[in-house]
Amino acid sequence: MRRKTALITGASRGIGRAIAQAYGAAGYDLFLTCLTSKQALQDLCTQISGAYGVCTHACCMDMGDWPSVQDLFSGIGELDVLINNAGISHIGLLSDMTPQQWRRVMSTNLDACFYTCKLAAQKMVAQKRGRILNISSVWGISGASMETAYSASKGALNSLTRALAKELAPSNVQVNAIACGVIDTDMNRCFSDEERQALIDAIPADRFGTPEEVAALALQLADAPAYLTGQILTLDGGFL
């Protein structure tokens, strides 16, 4: 029987790395990407294929670059699951942000998802099956001060999720998103101990989430009933 294939973007660290581990353990062949952490991604591929006997491919590339994404997809045959996880944050006042900084956030967090969804949808509609999962944020629902571009990119990603789900439902392709709360990864290393504690104090679960918790939900969504589509699932310890 053919093994299933998943493409997971931003898999060298944090949430994407945990999702790659979970999908590898579940027997998926994997296409994994990162921007610059080439060795870390290669080591992860070696570890996953050694542990689970699946095929892994590491691609170091900018997901916000359309020709690179086209190249990536030219090497992929059937695709069962696309997970748009690669993302960056930018913390600061909107009035201090440069157009280049704005563009970089939008390119990575939103343009990249358009590119991958476009190419994945072509495959999945032809296959009459497929799952797309976007890793989003609670800030895309509520908005966050000092993270306007990030909030806008994730809000747009949530709308993309709902709209594309309607477009692809007739073809048996499900599109959902996980809106994460604060997850303990490099993305939040910029916070001081005091800022970290203030955030924890605001979270009813009294802690940050773990990448493994996001990965567990991401894997469950691959096998969720096909009637579940167009949903933004909030995973935030009760934060919102």
Choose the binding region for ligand NDP from 19-27, 81-89, 168-176, 190-198 (rule: CB under 6 A): 81-89
> What DSSP assignment string belongs to the chain?
-PPPEEEESS-SSHHHHHHHHHHHHTT-EEEEEESS-HHHHHHHHHHHHHHH---EEEEE--TT-HHHHHHHHHT--S-SEEEE-------S-GGG--HHHHHHHHIIIIIHHHHHHHHHHHHHHHHT-EEEEEEEETHHHH--TT-HHHHHHHHHHHHHHHHHHHHHGGGTEEEEEEEE--B-SGGGTTS-HHHHHHHHHT-TTSS-B-HHHHHHHHHHHHTS-TT--S-EEEESTT--
- Closer to ligand NDP by CB, 104 or 129: give it: 104
- Least distance to ligand NDP from the beta carbon of 74, Å? 17
Q: Which of residues 5, 85, 148, 234 is near ligand NDP by CB under 6 A?
A: 85
Q: Does 168 bind ligand NDP (CB under 6 A)?
A: no
Active site residues: 150
Q: Work out whether 235 is an interface residue with ligand NDP (CB under 6 A).
A: no
| Cβ closest to ligand NDP, residue 173 vs residue 178 | 178
The minimum distance between CB 199 and ligand NDP, in angstroms, equals 9
Identified binder of ligand NDP from the candidate list 96, 186, 193, 201, rule CB under 6 A: 186
Least Å distance, CB 208 to ligand NDP, is 7
| By the rule CB under 6 A, 237 interacts with ligand NDP | no
Rule CB under 6 A: which of 18-77 touch ligand NDP? Answer: 33-37, 62-64
Q: List residues binding ligand NDP (CB under 6 A).
A: 9-16, 33-37, 62-64, 85-88, 108, 135, 137, 180, 182-183, 185-188
